[in-house]
Structure 1
Amino acid sequence: MQPRAASEMSQESAAAAATGMAPAPAKAQPHVLLVSSPFQSHVNPLLRLGRRLAGKGLSVTFTTALRDGIRVFDDGDGGGGGVRVERLRGGGMWEPDDPRLRVPGDMARHVEAAGPAALEELIRREAEAGRPVACVVANAFVSWAVRVAGDVGLPCAILWIQSCAVLSVYYHYVYSLAAFPSGDEADSSGAVTIPGLPELDMDELRPLLIYTSDQEMWRQMLVGDLGSMTEKAPWVFVNTFDELEHEAVAGLRKHIPLIPVGPLVEPDDGGVDDDDVHGCTAWLDAQPRRSVVFVAFGSLVDIGHDEVVEIAEGLASTGRPFLWVLRDGNRALLPKDALIDACGGDRGKVVPWCEQRRVLAHAAVGCFVTHCGWNSTAEALAAGVLMVASPRWSDQRINTRFVVDVYRVGVRAPATPLTREALRLSVEEVTAGPEAEAMAARAAILGEKARAAVGGGGSSDRGVQAFVDRITSGGAEP
């Protein structure tokens, strides 16, 4: 739904005044409530989807069990871009500064227990304030929000924040649609064939939740999410785009109502970065084009003392300028003298946080050393930046397989944890190796396709618009 032009509304008001009648009140925008689990890697893509929905005329509110350290990029109107933020509270929900929220397992169990009552209360408050909720959009690991939506008679959508390939692996495992090794076979070498995906070996599959205990909390949440996708949610958004994962999307769409809406990356408008408190942009501006090695491992990966030292020495050995995001807890592991030596004066910059998508979009960045979490991978693909992958757990090894062997826009570091020599060789391979130029060309093409997908009329934009049209028309089925 697009806002009417000011001239159209003024003509309507003038006509009403001429007849002595008051103009009809404007129809309220349909209100969508976004519900996220309180992890930064879950918050970011859902907020970005919310901004796109708001940009197409919907009223959007974002909620989560906010805890200290979670950023919602508040710029005066809540989450920014037309998105309001309301903290999930009541129902016994812990306060944001409660230390128990710092323990992921304790936090997740508490939110699952207290969240339903708090969400019902929020939906009631919104209705009383004249903002009745028309639809709930929940991301992964909050399948309880889908149940609450059903209980109060609201349609619900789900946002899957990992790749479509990983979602397909989980779906085919849970519903026994492919032959997965089990028992002793799972401890040996083997491979799994799934429609639309390359053959995946056990080293890529073992880190996934399918090979954890049936009693594992996260696994139970995943099974709940998959059940909601097949039985309760008429829309399943995926943070990908059709041109990137066409075969995986086509294969899984036979089973669940997939809508690619990615990459969920904020566009870089070239404006001033108010969050750049560490001066990253100014530093990057002073570096040659495609020269900088950018290193970041997300908000959850912790690296030990030995690896911190190895990365510092490896970066120094590349002879290239680098920007390294090293969280305070990990930074304390690096001796001050070693950090100074690694930085080599102005050649290196170490910061506790940066606006990653802006850094990746900067012309000075030549490669990205990453754990290959899907948010980071999608941001790098959208920016057309080559990657050095150092995967750790969960979906990161499958993402690495696609980056290296399918998209062919990066290399996998030959050692995990990273060693100085593995880092040096990998950076050299993607920046100056015999395939570096071809990889850069492929990365640029993927970046163009990603931007086209989310641009007006692109494949992902059409998916978002179709959802908006259905909600605006009052429908609950895609």
Structure 2
Amino acid sequence: MSMVTTDPSLRSATRRRIILFPTPFQGHINPMLQLANILHTHGFQITIIHAKFNAPNPSNHPHFSFKPINDGFAEIADQLATNQDATFFLKYLNKSCMDPFRDCLAGLLAEPGQDPVACLITDAAFYFAQAVADELKLPRMALRTSNLGCVLAYDALPFNSKPACFYLTKQDTDYEASVPEFPLLKFKDIVKIATNPQGMGEFVTNMLTQMRASSGIIWNTFKELEEHDLETVTQVFPVPSFTLGPFHEYFPATSSSLIEQDRTILSWLDKQAPKSVVYVSFGSVARITESEFQEVAHGLSNIGFPFLWVVRPGTVAGSEWLESLPENFVEGMGERGRIVKWSPQQEVLAHPATGCFWTHNGWNSTLESICEGVPMICSPCFVDQPINARYASDVWKIGVFLEDGFERTGIEMAIKRVMMDKEGEEIRERISCLKEKVKLSLDEGGSSFQSLKSLVDYISSL
């Protein structure tokens, strides 16, 4: 891991403050806190404004100041288990947080005897914050916690002009066809991206408009992975862009995890042969049906490889934890398998026993797999995940896309392709090359190193 060093040339001339505001979801909080750590190491004081829902633990970050605001999320939190429309929650937060955020930010700016605030950095999904920042005459930068390609796809997809294409089913002739506006994606992919295309269209329009109005965009990616898309982004978004990722390579994410990790699995991994374990995790939000859950279980049982399966409580709709497993599954797996509620994922992926990562392709997980050189089996669930998965499988060719969803025969074939076939060896070679490019980008003079230096200089000049 390339840890941040306090290079005097990167430190700001004064102890100016930066105020950061993440959206309250694990996949968004982690990179924001990682960015905060990076900037703190380069001379800035850090204040985190945060929603009370999924609040970060201040004791894990004693060098930051935390300011909670009322978010009203408790009124709709019970819908998280059943409502698959992510934009419903994001649009709600953009309305419910506006006044509490403005009051909190204005109070911070008015505090006597404090160092001046250099800028505000908010998650790009908090699009309302641009108007608040303009009103208070404070530069706002947007952190986009996805890859570049995701934003280009969002900009191109016809959420408003062709909403019907987001409702296609397997029976429709175009279901497997490419989407003309963004040919990397198939219609069956965009069905997952937006369950409510009109709502998604409204959200995306607001987010992208305010990204263009911002003082700059920070991306958790690195130039060598998305060089062509970076050229397009600089044309589509006429504000400075900074690609200084992967953030987690600067600092480990364990301290910002919202779920308790089961570390006993590391000693179990120590007993497994090199590159023999199938690691399965579908992230902190995604949900699957009971039948899909059982197909995953049968696929893992039938393949014969050791496996580590993360089943977050609430993963299966209508189930608390493991009640939906096939009869005698746990007894049958014995020492060959482990099921846990959450894992120290970066350490699991870095472990020599881990042979492949069956993932939902959240952007953080995808980046972590790249950084450890672990081939992927791609099972995206919603929003940006199908886009990440298509890039992984079809552009970078570092994973196998599980095209037919959770079906045991397809699962077994995908695992064999990655773990046993020549195709898997070629995937491993490609992702190992990307792993090396990550290291080079973070080293002195590398693209991410230089982008971080440019960001620190830019914030210091605001």
Q: Please, what TM-score do these two structures have when normalized by structure 2?
A: 0.83
The alignment status of 1:362 with 2:343, answered yes or no, reads no
CA RMSD of aligned residues (A): 3.3
Equivalent position of 1:242 in the other structure: 223
Equivalent position of 1:407 in the other structure: 396
Which of the numbers 110, 119, 122 marks the counterpart of 2:104?
122
Which of the numbers 259, 272, 276 marks the counterpart of 1:287?
272
Equivalent positions of 1:203-352 (< 5 A) are 203-209=188-194, 212-214=196-198, 216=199, 218-230=200-212, 232-256=213-237, 257=239, 258-267=241-250, 276-329=261-314, 330=316, 331-335=321-325, 337-342=327-332, 344-352=333-341
Structure 2: gaps of 5 or more residues = 81-86
Equivalent position of 1:148 in the other structure: 132
Aligned residues: 433
Equivalent position of 1:19 in the other structure: none
Query: Could you say what secondary structure the match of 2:339 adopts?
Result: strand
| Structure-2 separation of matches of 1:458 and 1:172 | 31
- Shift of residue 387 of structure 1? 0.5
Kindly indicate whether the alpha-carbon contact (under 8 Å) linking 1:268 and 1:358 is maintained by their aligned counterparts in 2: no
In the superposition, relative to structure 1, how do residues 60 and 455 fare at CA in structure 2: closer, same or farther (>3 Å)? farther
| Structure-1 separation of matches of 2:151 and 2:216 | 15
* Bigger Rg, which one: 1
| Structure-2 separation of matches of 1:146 and 1:273 | 26
- Shift of residue 244 of structure 1? 0.5
The alignment status of 1:65 with 2:51, answered yes or no, reads yes
| Structure-1 separation of matches of 2:290 and 2:163 | 36
Query: Could you say what secondary structure the match of 1:62 adopts?
Result: strand
Equivalent position of 2:365 in the other structure: 376
The alignment status of 1:444 with 2:432, answered yes or no, reads yes
- Shift of residue 392 of structure 1? 2.3
- Shift of residue 286 of structure 1? 2.4
| Structure-1 separation of matches of 2:166 and 2:440 | 43
- Shift of residue 193 of structure 1? 6.1
Q: Please, what TM-score do these two structures have when normalized by structure 1?
A: 0.81
Higher RCO by CA contacts (8 Å cutoff, separation 6 or greater): 2
- Shift of residue 199 of structure 1? 4.4
One-letter amino acid of the counterpart of residue 87, structure 1:
P
Q: Which moved more, 1:119-128 or 1:180-189?
A: 180-189
Which of the numbers 96, 113, 123 marks the counterpart of 1:139?
123
CA deviation map 1:295-316 (0-9, x unaligned): 0111121122222222122112
One-letter amino acid of the counterpart of residue 43, structure 2:
G
Query: Could you say what secondary structure the match of 1:154 adopts?
Result: coil
One-letter amino acid of the counterpart of residue 412, structure 1:
F
| Structure-1 separation of matches of 2:205 and 2:255 | 43
One-letter amino acid of the counterpart of residue 275, structure 2:
R
Equivalent position of 1:85 in the other structure: 66
Aligned-residue identity in percent: 27
Equivalent position of 1:18 in the other structure: none
Equivalent position of 1:34 in the other structure: 20
Kindly indicate whether the alpha-carbon contact (under 8 Å) linking 2:376 and 2:400 is maintained by their aligned counterparts in 1: yes
Kindly indicate whether the alpha-carbon contact (under 8 Å) linking 2:193 and 2:385 is maintained by their aligned counterparts in 1: no
Q: Which moved more, 1:317-326 or 1:58-67?
A: 58-67
One-letter amino acid of the counterpart of residue 243, structure 2:
P
| Structure-1 separation of matches of 2:95 and 2:65 | 25
Structure 1: gaps of 5 or more residues = 6-25
In the superposition, relative to structure 1, how do residues 132 and 114 fare at CA in structure 2: closer, same or farther (>3 Å)? farther
CA deviation map 1:405-461 (0-9, x unaligned): 221111112421x12222222111101112222211111111111233234432123
- Shift of residue 66 of structure 1? 2.8
